[in-house]
Amino acid sequence: MRLQDYAFKVFENQIPSKSGIKKAIKRGEIFVEGKVAQTGTWINEGQFLELYETSANLPKVYEFKLEVVFEDNHLAVINKPAGISVSGNKFKTIYNALPFNLSKSSEIDVLSWPTPVHRLDNQTSGILLIAKTKTAQIELGKQFENQIIQKKYGAIVIGEVCGNTFINSPIENKNAETNFEIIETIKSLKFNKLTSLKVYPKTGRTHQIRIHLASIGHQILGDKLYGNKEMIHKGKGLFLCANEIKFLHPKTFKPIHIKIDIPNKFKSMLIREKRRWNTYNLTK
C-alpha cells in the first residue's frame, strides 16, 4: 500500500486529514524504517513508521470552553455538548479544543495533543474520556476492547416501551448488545407517548443505541438519521446523553466512577408534554 494512504489510518489522531498527511510527508516528517519517506513510497507489513511532530503538523487550537468534569496528570473527562463533533476534518471539534481546556501532562510519555479514547455522535452530549499520555491511551483502549469500561446513557424515546429488556442484534455483522431500564412513560399530544430510559450498552458499535432502539420501534426523540422524519421534534436536538462511566485508572488501576446530570432539556420536555396533555384533556 502507498504510504500516503496507510499513514492516514495510523496517524489519524495526530493528523486528521489525508491532505495533512501528504503535507507532512512533503515536509519530511514521516519516516519509514528510519529513513525520510516520499509521497510515492510503498510500504510492506512489518515496517516501522514514525511521525516527527512539529508545530507545523499539529492542529490549530480551537478556543472553545468545555466543562472539565475530572482531570489529573494521565487523563481527563469532559462533558461534551451536543452539536459538536469529537474529531474530523472540521476546525470546530472537541479534539481541537482540548489543549485550550486541559493542562499538559508532566509524564515522560505525554501526548503532544490530548486525545479522546472513544467517540460520541455529533448530536449526543455527555461524558467523553480523554487520554493525556500514551500509557493512558493504550490502557483505556484495552479496557474498551475488553468491555471493562461501563457507560450509562439517558434517553427519551417515542412510544411506550413495554418491559425492561435488552437488545442483542448484530450491527454491520458484529456482535452488539444494549440493555435498558424504563424510568417513566408519559402521554403526549404529538407523540402519543414518550418513555424515559436508562441505557447500558455492553458493546460500543457506531450509533449502536440509536440503531437498536429504532429496531424495536422506539426511535430516540430527535433522531434524524434512524427516526421517522415526521416525528422529529425540531430545534431540540437528540435526546441522548452519556451521563455515567466506570473504569480503572490507567496508571493506578483504582476504580473511577463519574456521573453527571442529564441536560435540563430532558426534564423540561417531559414536563411540557405532560402539561400540554393535561391542558388539552381538561378543556375538552
Please say whether the beta carbons of 123 and 86 come within 8 A: no
Residues 92 and 100: their CA atoms lie apart, in Å, by 12
Q: Reply yes or no on whether 121 is catalytic.
A: yes
Long-range contact list for 182-185, CB < 8 A, 24+ apart?
184/270, 185/160, 185/161
- Active-site entry in 5, 121, 223, 261: 121
- The neighbouring-strand residues paired with 278 are none
**In which element (H, E) is residue 179 found?**
strand 177-188
Residues 146 and 155: their CA atoms lie apart, in Å, by 25
Cell match 422524519: residue? Answer: 229
Residues 211 and 177: their CA atoms lie apart, in Å, by 11
Active-site amino acid positions: 121
